[in-house]
Structure 1
Amino acid sequence: MSNSSEIPSFVLAAYGNVGELKYLYFSMILPWYLSICVANTLVIAIIYVDKGLHEPMYILLCNLCVNEIGASTTLYPLLLSQMLSESHEVSLPWCFVQMFCLYTSVSIEFCSLAAMAYDRYMSICYPLHYHTVMSTGRVFMIILFVWVYSVLNFVLLFSFILGLKFCGNIIDKVFCDHQLMIQLACSVSVINHVSDILFILLTLWIPFAFILASYLKILVVCFNTSKENKQKAITTCLPQIVSVSNLFVGCIFHFVDSRIEAAQVPDKVRVLLSVYLIVCQPMITPFMYGFNLPKVKTSFQRFVFHKK
């Protein structure tokens, strides 16, 4: 029986045989990746340069943009190299590294959005206590907690697959996937399935419940306030609601694709659904959160076009 150390690499079979189209796909994917990096870096630079944006909401936004760049860099360079490759093989250590970065970034994304929801909750529901509760030191402690919590989530998940023995090395995706690796194991214990459920609970459902609770409380307060304050609250919260909704839908696509046999779904559609989260979310953050916010938009015009 083969063990994990005897399988030096995994084959990412979802690339298939695209033939000469690989150059077309490469020329489409590379500009998209560069656009993600440029857009998110620009938001970070604007927030860093403009001292007026050194507020909790924008600091948390900056953290979110850093995560978008990191998550995209984990996927796209390998995806681009695999697109031009004939073998589509990925070494076992790199597979674990990619999983660590991708899964941790998803957890950071959800937890960061939960932190931003809490920030909006304090700002709208308790404006008099806002600057006391959401001090700069407190915000950086929240960001540190988000990253540590997310890393520990994956360490917990990783501990259950580290000693698995694999009887196959074909992963039907364009990136290394935890659940598909479990399916390649020679034998899987109940604890592996429990760890998967636990990871989903810690990564998705707990942050999502926190986000939902925050916005429900904001909604209650908005019903009992002036029309002007309602409009302001909606304008502030709408980008977050859009981002959370997109993130949740992307996660559903990923988890369903990894766990349900979708024989009736064309392979190309399945590939698109599996990478939907990493393709769309990194662009939603800078444009829905960043350039859509009035203060950031004004600062962007000064920063890029030197407008007063």
Structure 2
Amino acid sequence: MDNATLETVHMTAYSVMENHKHEVFSVFLLLYVTTITLNSLLISVIYQNKELHAPMNVFTCMLSINEIYGSSAMLPAVLALILSKTHEVPLRWCMAQVYFLHTYASGEFSILALMGYDRYVAICYPLHYHTIMSTSKMLKLIVFIGLYPLIVFGCLYSLTIQLRFCGNVIPKLYCVNMELVKNSCLNPQYISIVGLVFIFILIVPHVVMILFSYVQISRVCRKLSKESQYNALKTCIPHLISFFNYTIGSLFEIIQSRFQMTHVALETRIFLSLYFIITPPIINPIVYGLGTHLVRAHILKLFLPRKLAKAVTAAY
């Protein structure tokens, strides 16, 4: 069986949901609506208020856009397949989802690295921040961060779409590159090694940049007063929460794709595989919306009377 005859891919993980598919459908629908609502609200508030157009908030919008993109690449398809009787998808659709999900995943690390760099400049070079993070520099960084994952993963993806397939089973709720490669007629070990190289290129430079940024921030903070240390580190907390949360979720997915995990209950594997696509898109807009003083103030104005919003903002 090759690409000429293989037309569908069977997603076996949906079998565990068969007896409760309507309840599971409702949960996933709620998660998707929540993700779209929270991220759209954050983008709208930042876009409509010029005083929020600082680089960090612009990068926060990028993060939210990427999370809407990633969630939309998976959750509508999951909703459709939960109610499907066959749990099969066209091969071409599966390949498209592979590209969307992997560019979302690598894009998330790219944006988090950019946000870490912003914190590094803001804390280590506060007097030169607006010069270093000028509008032209910010636009160049946005374009680079936007194109980097698309191009780099595109190189690996170009190898995947040329494969011939002898199997059509993926033990997940969605298509990922490594599971698709395991169904190829070639020795998957070769593609696996190539995939690891691309994972290294896509992820490691960004993680190194983030770690470097916080090492330098820690070095500078040691020279500051306690109050200044607190104020500096407070601006880093939302980013650190996002970074560690997403890194943990990504590790769950990478480990499952690369190692034999049949000894782990299927329900547990499904939950862990969904963590990177469900948890960050819900947590991040809450963290950045409520954890950033100016953004929080504008969000509260939408839902509370003006005087009460000011009182709450002043109290926290």
TM interval, short-chain normalised:
over 0.9
The aligned counterpart of 1:290 is 289
The aligned counterpart of 1:301 is 300
Matches of 2:114 and 2:288 in 1, distance apart? Answer: 14
Matches of 1:82 and 1:92 in 2, distance apart? Answer: 14
Given the alignment of the two structures, is residue 138 of structure 1 paired with residue 155 of structure 2, yes or no?
A: no
Superposition pairs of residues 71-90 of structure 1, within 5 angstroms: 71-90=70-89
Matches of 1:63 and 1:305 in 2, distance apart? Answer: 27
Give, in angstroms, the shift of residue 233 of structure 1: 1.6
Cα shift readout 1:72-116 (whole Å, capped 9, x = no counterpart): 011100000001111111111111111111100111110101000
Between stretches 63-72 and 286-295, larger displacement belongs to 286-295
Matches of 2:64 and 2:305 in 1, distance apart? Answer: 23
Matches of 1:48 and 1:17 in 2, distance apart? Answer: 42
The aligned counterpart of 1:66 is 65
The aligned counterpart of 1:112 is 111
The aligned counterpart of 1:5 is 4
Give, in angstroms, the shift of residue 193 of structure 1: 2.6
SS at match of 1:4: coil
Matches of 1:19 and 1:44 in 2, distance apart? Answer: 37
The aligned counterpart of 1:166 is 165
The aligned counterpart of 1:176 is 175
User: Are the aligned partners of 2:71 and 2:277 in contact in 1 as well (CA < 8 Å)?
Assistant: yes
The aligned counterpart of 2:146 is 147
Matches of 1:234 and 1:5 in 2, distance apart? Answer: 56
Give 2:263's aligned amino acid. Q
Given the alignment of the two structures, is residue 241 of structure 1 paired with residue 240 of structure 2, yes or no?
A: yes
User: Are the aligned partners of 2:121 and 2:129 in contact in 1 as well (CA < 8 Å)?
Assistant: yes
Cα shift readout 1:203-223 (whole Å, capped 9, x = no counterpart): 221111111100110011011
Aligned length: 307
Matches of 2:196 and 2:211 in 1, distance apart? Answer: 20
Given the alignment of the two structures, is residue 91 of structure 1 paired with residue 90 of structure 2, yes or no?
A: yes
SS at match of 2:193: helix
Query: What is the root-mean-square deviation of aligned Cα atoms in Å?
Result: 1.3
User: Are the aligned partners of 1:157 and 1:199 in contact in 2 as well (CA < 8 Å)?
Assistant: yes
User: Are the aligned partners of 1:74 and 1:101 in contact in 2 as well (CA < 8 Å)?
Assistant: yes
Matches of 1:179 and 1:86 in 2, distance apart? Answer: 25
Given the alignment of the two structures, is residue 211 of structure 1 paired with residue 210 of structure 2, yes or no?
A: yes
Between stretches 289-298 and 12-21, larger displacement belongs to 12-21
Matches of 1:277 and 1:190 in 2, distance apart? Answer: 25
Give 2:35's aligned amino acid. I
SS at match of 1:64: helix
Give, in angstroms, the shift of residue 190 of structure 1: 5.8
User: Are the aligned partners of 1:113 and 1:240 in contact in 2 as well (CA < 8 Å)?
Assistant: yes
Shift in alpha-carbon separation, 1:17–1:86, aligned structure 2, 3 A: farther
SS at match of 1:10: strand
User: Are the aligned partners of 1:160 and 1:195 in contact in 2 as well (CA < 8 Å)?
Assistant: no
User: Are the aligned partners of 2:102 and 2:176 in contact in 1 as well (CA < 8 Å)?
Assistant: no
Cα shift readout 1:19-54 (whole Å, capped 9, x = no counterpart): 340000011111111011000000000001111101
Cα shift readout 1:4-31 (whole Å, capped 9, x = no counterpart): 2321111111111533400000111111
Matches of 1:251 and 1:57 in 2, distance apart? Answer: 23
**Percent identity over paired residues:** 35
Give, in angstroms, the shift of residue 306 of structure 1: 5.0
Give 2:155's aligned amino acid. L
SS at match of 2:295: helix
Shift in alpha-carbon separation, 1:107–1:142, aligned structure 2, 3 A: same
Give 1:246's aligned amino acid. N
Superposition pairs of residues 183-222 of structure 1, within 5 angstroms: 183-188=182-187, 191-222=190-221
User: Are the aligned partners of 1:55 and 1:136 in contact in 2 as well (CA < 8 Å)?
Assistant: no
User: Are the aligned partners of 2:11 and 2:171 in contact in 1 as well (CA < 8 Å)?
Assistant: yes
Cα shift readout 1:238-296 (whole Å, capped 9, x = no counterpart): 11111111111111110111111112211011011111101101012101122221111
Shift in alpha-carbon separation, 1:286–1:204, aligned structure 2, 3 A: same
Give 2:170's aligned amino acid. I
Between stretches 229-238 and 74-83, larger displacement belongs to 229-238
The aligned counterpart of 2:27 is 28
Give, in angstroms, the shift of residue 189 of structure 1: 6.5
SS at match of 1:90: strand
Give 1:80's aligned amino acid. L
SS at match of 2:9: strand
Given the alignment of the two structures, is residue 124 of structure 1 paired with residue 123 of structure 2, yes or no?
A: yes
Matches of 2:103 and 2:289 in 1, distance apart? Answer: 23
Give, in angstroms, the shift of residue 299 of structure 1: 1.1
